[in-house]
Structure 1
C-alpha cells in the first residue's frame, strides 16, 4: 500500500490536470452514496464527522473521513478541518493507498469551483474576490488562475490580519492579490465572488451583486451554515454541484423555507454542465449563483490522479 503525505499529494494535483479529471469524472458513471454526517459530542458545538464514499465498477473505490471543528482557529490556532483518504482496488477491495485528505479536499473543492465557473462566469472576468482566508480559500487563486486571466484578486476575511497574510502569500507566488476591509465594496466591484468560510450567518448580500457577476458559494455544507442572504436566490440563475446541496446547505434551505426560492428553480447541476446538457450562463448581464456542498466523486477523481501519478 502506498502512502502520500501533504507534499506528495499536492505535487500530484496540478490544477490543469485536476480540473480535467473532475470534469471527466462528472461525465462518467460513478456511484456516490449520500455522505454520512454525524454531530460529535464536544465542547466545540459545531464538531462534525463526515464519511464520504464513492466508487466506479471494477476500477477504484475510495472513502474520505473528515473532521470539522469550527472553533479550532480561535481555541488552538489549528485548521478547522482534517481528513484522510483511503483508496481501494474496486476489483477485490484491497486497500492500495492512503492519501492526505486535507490536500485532496482543499484542492478538489477549488478545482470544482473553477470548473463550474468555466460555464457560469463571464469568459472575460478579470477580478476575483475570495471571501475567507482558510485552507480552501488559499487554493482558489491557483484554481481560478488556471482558467481566467485575473488582474485583481481581493481577499476579505472576518479577521483582517489573516486576509493580509493570505494576500502576502499569494503575492509572493506572483498573484495580483490585496487584502480588503470593506466587503460590500469588494463584492460590488468583482466579476467573480468566491466564498469559502465556515460562517453560520449571511456574509454576502444580493443587493451588493452587480449584473454579470458569478457568485460561488462553497463554504456552507450544513443546514446551520450560511454565506449569503435569502435574496441571493430570488432573481438569479442558480446552479448546484449535486442535488444533495438542496438538502444540506443552509444557503439553500433558508430561502426555500422562506418561500423565496423553489427546488425546481435550480437550472442544472455540475454533471449537466460538464455533459453539455445545459449551456450555463446565457447572457453577459445574468447573475449566476453556484452552491456547492462537495461530493465524493470529486475526491475520487483527485485520489485516482494522485495514485496513478506513481504508476
Structure 2
C-alpha cells in the first residue's frame, strides 16, 4: 500500500491540477455525509469524514487532543485512507493534515474563480496558521497578486509567515490590523468566536472567503457582512449545520437559509452565474466536504 507524507502530497497536488480535480468532483458528486463526531478523554474529539465515489472510497480520521500542548505534541493528528470502492482493497495512506490544508485552499480558489473579480490584485489573509499559508500560495498561483497582507493576533506569527511566503516569491507582508479597506479579496482562517470582518467595512466589488469557523459557536464575520453579500457555501447541509457565520446570522435575523444563493456544486455545474457585476460584494463560506478529500487523494495517487 502506498504511503504519502506531507512533502510527497504537496508535490503531487499542484494548485492548478488540484483546483480542477475539486471542480470535477463537485460536478460529478459523490456520497459524503456530514462528519461523524465522537468525544474522547480529556476534552478530545474524534472526527471521521467518509466519502464514496464510483471508483474510490476514502475516510479521513482526525484526532483533536487539546491536552497535547502540555505534552509537547501536536494538538491535531489526521490520516486519510483511500481504497478501491468496488473491492475494498486499500490503495494508499496519506498524511491527513497536508491533504486537508491543500484541498481547503483549493476549494477557496475554486469558489473565487466564480466570485472574485478576475483583476483582483490585493489579498488580505486573517490568520497565520498552516491553512493561511496554503491559502496565500493557492491564491498567488491563481490571481496576479501584487500584495498579500497577513494579519494575526500574534504579530510575530504574521511576520514569520510573510517572510516564509516572500522567500517563495509570494508578495507578502505583515499587516498591522485586520482592516479590510482597499483589499480585493479577504480570506480568513481562524478559530475566532467573535467577528473579525464587519459588513460596514466591506467595499464594493470585494470577495470575502470564510474558512476557519467550522463549528456553530465560531464566527469570523458578522451578520451584516452576510446580509450585504451574495452568499455561497461549499455545501448547504454542512453550512446550515456547522457554519457559525451562517447559523448565527440566521439566528440573529440578518439572513435566512433562502438567502444562500447557491452551493459550490451549483456554481461548478453552471446552475448559478456567481458574480454578476463589478460592484457586487460576494462571500464564500466553507466548512469542508469529504468529497474534496476524496478528489485530492485520488489525484495524489495517480500513477502510483
Q: Give the TM bin, normalised by the shorter chain.
A: over 0.9
1:95 is matched with: 90
Question: How has the CA–CA distance of structure 1 residues 279 and 165 changed in structure 2, closer, same or farther, with 3 Å as cutoff?
Answer: same
CA contact (8 A) 1:256 1:263 kept: yes
Residues 1:211 and 2:207 aligned together: no
Structure 1 residues 29 and 252: CA distance shift in structure 2, 3 A: closer
Q: Is the 8 A contact 1:79 1:135 kept in 2?
A: no
Q: Offset at 1:63?
A: 0.1
SS at match of 1:202: coil
Q: Residue 196 of structure 1: which of 189, 214, 232 is its match? A: 189
CA contact (8 A) 1:164 1:179 kept: yes
1:79–1:156: structure 2 CA closer, same or farther, 3 Å change rule? farther
Check 1:163–1:247 CA distance in 2 against 1; reply closer, same or farther (3 A cut).
Answer: same
Aligned equivalents of 1:71, 1:114: Cα separation in 2: 34
Equivalence for 2:81? 86
Q: Deviations over 1:251-287 (max 9, x none)?
A: 1111111111100111110000011111100111111
In the TM superposition, residue 209 of structure 1 has moved relative to its aligned partner by 1.1
Which position in structure 2 is the counterpart of 1:54? 51
In structure 2, the CA distance between the partners of 1:161 and 1:76, relative to structure 1 (3 Å rule), is: farther
> How far apart in 2 are the matches of 1:41 and 1:215?
37
Confirm or deny: 8 A CA contact 1:79 1:134 kept in the other structure: no
* TM-score using structure 2 length: 0.95
**Shift in alpha-carbon separation, 1:111–1:276, aligned structure 2, 3 A:** same
- 8 Å CA contact 2:42–2:67 kept in 1: the answer is no
The question of 1:279 aligning with 2:273 is answered yes
Query: Quick check: 1:16 aligned with 2:26?
Result: no
Q: Tell me how far apart the structure 2 counterparts of residues 156 and 87 of structure 1 sit (CA, whole Å).
A: 36
CA distance in 1, matches of 2:151, 2:143: 20
Runs of 4+ in 1 over 6 A off after TM superposition: 70-73
Q: 1:152 to 1:96 in 2, by over 3 A?
A: same
Question: For residues 32-59 of structure 1, what are the alpha-carbon distances to aligned partners after superposition, in whole Å with 9 as ceiling and x for unaligned?
Answer: 112112343425xxx43221000113x0
Alignment of 1:249 onto 2:243: yes
1:76 Cα deviation from its structure 2 partner:
6.4
1:154 is paired with a residue whose SS is strand
Gaps of 5+ in 2: none
User: Which residue number in structure 1 is paired with residue 295 of structure 2?
Assistant: 301
User: CA separation in 1, counterparts of 2:205 and 2:71?
Assistant: 40
Contact 1:155 1:177 in 2 (8 A): yes
1:234 aligns with 2:239: no
Aligned to 2:62: 66
Offset of residue 72 of structure 1: 6.3
SS at match of 2:273: coil
Gaps of 5+ in 1: none
Secondary structure of the 2:109 match is helix
Question: How many residues end up aligned between the 2 structures?
Answer: 303
Mapped pair 1:130 → 2:128 = no
- In the superposition, the TM-score normalised over structure 1's length comes to 0.93
CA positional deviation for 1:83: 1.0
Distance change (3 Å), C-alpha of 1:256 and 1:90? same
